[in-house]
Chains A and B, each alone.
Chain A
Amino acid sequence: MSPVSWLSSHLGLPDWLLRPILAPLVYPGLLAFMPVALFIIWAERKVTARVQMRVGPLYVSRRLGGVLQLLADGVRIAFQEVIVPETAEKYSFMLAPIAAFSLVAATFTVVPGGPGVYGFDSNISLLIAYALISLSPIVTVVMGWASNNKFSQIGAGREIIVSIAGEVTLLASLLAAAMMYGSMSFNAIVEAQNDAGIPGIVANPVAALLFFIAVLLITDRVPFDLVLGEQEIVQGPYTEYTGILFALTMALDYAKLYVLMLMFTNVFLGGWMPFNTPLIGSLCVFTKTLVLMLISVFLRSVYGRMRLDQVAYLFWARLLPLALAAFSLSAVMHFLYR
């Protein structure tokens, strides 16, 4: 008996109602996201420090190598006063980070975290996940506008340019993958890879590359962290945020990174391949996602920030034509997953 059906029989709730609640809140959702964020931010700082001849976070929990540093920071930030500027649009200013984070959390309902571990299965779950992810930039623009600060507004403008460029590439690579597997359901896609025994990244590396680069742009990773752009616009749309709301805006990018890398694992790395039991399969998905996130945060120690026009050029003029190549590759590779 799976844990979900055990819980549903005890609570007297139907299975189909419990699943979409548990998925975003427990696994692969927020409860799992906490240690992920803790670990990834720590690993990001630690790896970068290693490259840069420093020690990184160390003094909070010295024996664990400073892994609890973020927890300490989080506690501090949670008790910090939330300052709402006089000139800000109060309600949209305060609600926007919560709305953006909820949108990203809602994405976990459709992205499976293991074999049989999902909120609900639909034959368009790929599109639902994409739609929910691409809604959050609109809320980010609301944040920038509501802050009523020039840096925030410039940051919001950048968010518009950047997210459109990124999402077109993301959608193109997702559709190329869907075309290859002949399905838009995450579960069916993973099963198709399981049956064929070939992960999608081998069959269509172009689409996988496009997806990865687009994720870097959407989640503001270096070298595409233009929306944050500390050296020009302080913290972009999040400049005016303090306390717990600031923590939410910061966690937003990491949550997006987590869910998008989860999607990458399912679509291109064969999800829980080669395991099929719920527990081991979930662990497998989780580990693959963590490794992907580590790769994406490592880029911080190699690259600087690209200029806005260069990013736009890269995505529209270089990567979008590459998406056509991904589509044609999918058409050829389709026979693998029949």
Chain B
Amino acid sequence: MASAVSPGMEVRRIGGSQDGRVIELYIGAQHPASGHMRLIVYLDGDVIVRVDPDIGYVHRTMEKLAETREYVRVISLLERMTIIDSCNITLPYVEAVEKLLGVEPPPRARYLRTILCEINRIASHLYGLGIGGIFLNHSTMYMWAFGDREVFLHLASLLTGARLTHTYSVFGGVRRDLPRLFIDEFSKAKRYMLKRLRDYDKLFFNNPVIRGRLEGVGVLKPQRAVELGVTGPNLRASGVRYDARLTGYAAYGELDFKPVVGKEGDALERIWVRLREIEVSLDLIEQAIRSLPEGPIFHERFTKTIPPAVRHWLAKGRIKLPGGYVRLKTRPGEVFTRAEMGHGEVTYYLVSDGGIKPYRLRVVTPSARNVVLFDELARGHTLMDLPAIYGSLDYFPPEADR
């Protein structure tokens, strides 16, 4: 049973047992490299004894707010958890509600969702790589990754009309059809990104200084990773072959997909997994575009109810949501869904009492599961390794705090 211990008491306990050698360092919440959180670090000389991640600085009561909104309005709320990965984080929720509604999205919509999910994943990985770069004071990697992320934000905005909060997947399908321009733009983007990945390898991944900082730092054994419930690229870097995409939601079951699995489990391997996953994602998008089925993008049950005045938009590949859509009633029941985000696996547990709003929505985000790694990996390393570990985890505080 955990008892409430204030940080100050803790340092006195540890410090007292070691002749007052241990000092307590508050990294954050106002710090160049803390993010929206605080890391309470206990240092014996330069060696980390313990790290307490103090989270909750950007807690926005997502789960409670979801209970006060109609089903469709929850989508744009949940996007705010991980604004950089908004299709991936809302997809399991949309699928959960679809299950309760008894609606199956048309195949074309499933493929379009997959395309946007992978674009989001690349953007999210680039974001993580950029942050990982600046944590090692490698400002070029930071700027490059954020600059190249724009390419994928552009692709996303072509597809959905928005750069970040797309609200693209809705119950019964997607909001917009694939524009003709997209295929050309994507093949350009793919060529560009593959070229850039080689640059990243040269300047960042194979840079002797960066390798020296990351190699053998924060090693996570596969057994321990599973015990701790770590997820996403951090889990795969340890050599565990688990990826929620293997369950075959959206169109993943029909595409040829192999997860990237590392073996060392150190910080370098975690960065490597992200770099290689970008390649896999590019390949997945190409596959999805190639085998994109023809047909409607929205379920017939809702298409019927679109008022005649805005029906002409349908021919242009756009869905104007019908008025009754906001007051959809689901059947009572409980659904559990999952999806693989850029940071890892997100799971939703949705309980419905048959009303127009969720009765209870439980969200477990990947960052919330990975936060345990700060303490696990940093112990025994020096203070300078802490940014290297933080950067390699691709931890996103707003997502963990929900």
* Shortest beta-carbon distance from A165 to chain B in Å: 15
Q: Mark B182-220, 1 if CB is under 8 A from A, else 0.
A: 000000000000000000000100010110110000000
A223→B209 contact, CB < 8 A:
yes
Q: Which of A150, A225, A305 contacts B25 (CB 8 A)?
A: A150
The chain B residue with its CB closest to the CB of A307 is B384
Most B-side CB within 10 Å, residue of A154, A222, A305 = A305
Q: Mark A43-56, 1 if CB is under 8 A from B, else 0.
A: 00000100111100
Q: In this assembly, does A205 line the interface, its C-beta being within 8 Å of a C-beta of chain B?
A: no
Q: In whole angstroms, how far apart are the Cα atoms of A285 and B251 in the complex?
A: 67
A53→B143 contact, CB < 8 A:
yes
**For the side of the interface on A, what is the size category?**
20 to 34
- The stretch of B134-142, B322-330, B394-402 that contacts the partner chain: B134-142
Q: In whole angstroms, how far apart are the Cα atoms of A141 and B133 in the complex?
A: 29
* Shortest beta-carbon distance from A275 to chain B in Å: 37
Most B-side CB within 10 Å, residue of A53, A150, A307 = A307
B23→A150 contact, CB < 8 A:
yes
* Shortest beta-carbon distance from B90 to chain A in Å: 31
Q: In this assembly, does A231 line the interface, its C-beta being within 8 Å of a C-beta of chain B?
A: yes
Q: Which of A48, A150, A305 contacts B137 (CB 8 A)?
A: A305
A305→B139 contact, CB < 8 A:
no
Find chain A residues with CB under 8 A from B25 CB.
150-151, 154
B212→A306 contact, CB < 8 A:
yes
A232→B147 contact, CB < 8 A:
no
Q: In this assembly, does B300 line the interface, its C-beta being within 8 Å of a C-beta of chain A?
A: no
Q: In whole angstroms, how far apart are the Cα atoms of A48 and B143 in the complex?
A: 10
Q: How many residues does chain B have at the interface if contact means C-beta atoms less than 8 Å apart?
A: 32
Q: In this assembly, does A229 line the interface, its C-beta being within 8 Å of a C-beta of chain B?
A: yes
Q: In this assembly, does B101 line the interface, its C-beta being within 8 Å of a C-beta of chain A?
A: no
A306→B140 contact, CB < 8 A:
no
Q: Which of B23, B136, B386 contacts A304 (CB 8 A)?
A: B136
Q: Which of A53, A222, A231, A234 contacts B134 (CB 8 A)?
A: A231
A308→B207 contact, CB < 8 A:
no
Q: In whole angstroms, how far apart are the Cα atoms of A232 and B203 in the complex?
A: 23
B139→A306 contact, CB < 8 A:
no
Q: In whole angstroms, how far apart are the Cα atoms of A234 and B144 in the complex?
A: 23
Q: Mark A204-232, 1 if CB is under 8 A from B, else 0.
A: 00000000000000000011011001111
Q: In whole angstroms, how far apart are the Cα atoms of A300 and B136 in the complex?
A: 12
Give the number of A-B contacts (CB < 8 Å).
82
A304→B382 contact, CB < 8 A:
no
Given the known interface contacts A223-B209, A229-B384, the answer about A305 and B136 at a Cβ–Cβ threshold of 8 Å is yes
The chain A residue with its CB closest to the CB of B25 is A150
Q: In whole angstroms, how far apart are the Cα atoms of A300 and B144 in the complex?
A: 14
Find chain A residues with CB under 8 A from B134 CB.
231
Q: In this assembly, does A301 line the interface, its C-beta being within 8 Å of a C-beta of chain B?
A: yes
Q: In whole angstroms, how far apart are the Cα atoms of A310 and B203 in the complex?
A: 19
* Shortest beta-carbon distance from B204 to chain A in Å: 8
Q: In this assembly, does A309 line the interface, its C-beta being within 8 Å of a C-beta of chain B?
A: yes
* Shortest beta-carbon distance from A58 to chain B in Å: 15
Find chain B residues with CB under 8 A from A52 CB.
139-140, 142-144, 147
Q: In whole angstroms, how far apart are the Cα atoms of A304 and B208 in the complex?
A: 9
Q: In this assembly, does A302 line the interface, its C-beta being within 8 Å of a C-beta of chain B?
A: yes
B46→A307 contact, CB < 8 A:
no
A53→B144 contact, CB < 8 A:
yes
Q: In this assembly, does A303 line the interface, its C-beta being within 8 Å of a C-beta of chain B?
A: yes
A305→B143 contact, CB < 8 A:
no
B209→A232 contact, CB < 8 A:
no
* Shortest beta-carbon distance from B321 to chain A in Å: 39
Q: In whole angstroms, how far apart are the Cα atoms of A245 and B207 in the complex?
A: 36
A304→B213 contact, CB < 8 A:
yes
B144→A231 contact, CB < 8 A:
no
Q: In whole angstroms, how far apart are the Cα atoms of A336 and B147 in the complex?
A: 52
B31→A307 contact, CB < 8 A:
no
B210→A304 contact, CB < 8 A:
yes
Q: In whole angstroms, how far apart are the Cα atoms of A304 and B384 in the complex?
A: 12
Q: In this assembly, does B32 line the interface, its C-beta being within 8 Å of a C-beta of chain A?
A: yes
Q: In this assembly, does B387 line the interface, its C-beta being within 8 Å of a C-beta of chain A?
A: yes
Given the known interface contacts A52-B147, A223-B209, the answer about A231 and B139 at a Cβ–Cβ threshold of 8 Å is no
- Of the A-B pairs whose beta carbons lie under 8 Å apart in the complex, a sample of 29, sorted by A's number, is A52-B139, A52-B143, A52-B144, A53-B143, A150-B25, A154-B25, A154-B383, A223-B209, A225-B137, A230-B33, A231-B32, A231-B33, A231-B137, A231-B387, A232-B27, A232-B383, A232-B384, A232-B387, A234-B32, A300-B139, A301-B140, A302-B203, A304-B138, A304-B207, A305-B137, A305-B213, A307-B213, A307-B382, A308-B382
Q: Which residues of A contact B (CB under 8 A)?
A: 48, 51-54, 150-151, 154, 222-223, 225-226, 229-234, 300-310
Q: Which residues of B contact A (CB under 8 A)?
A: 23, 25, 27, 31-33, 46, 133-144, 147, 203, 207, 209-210, 212-213, 382-387
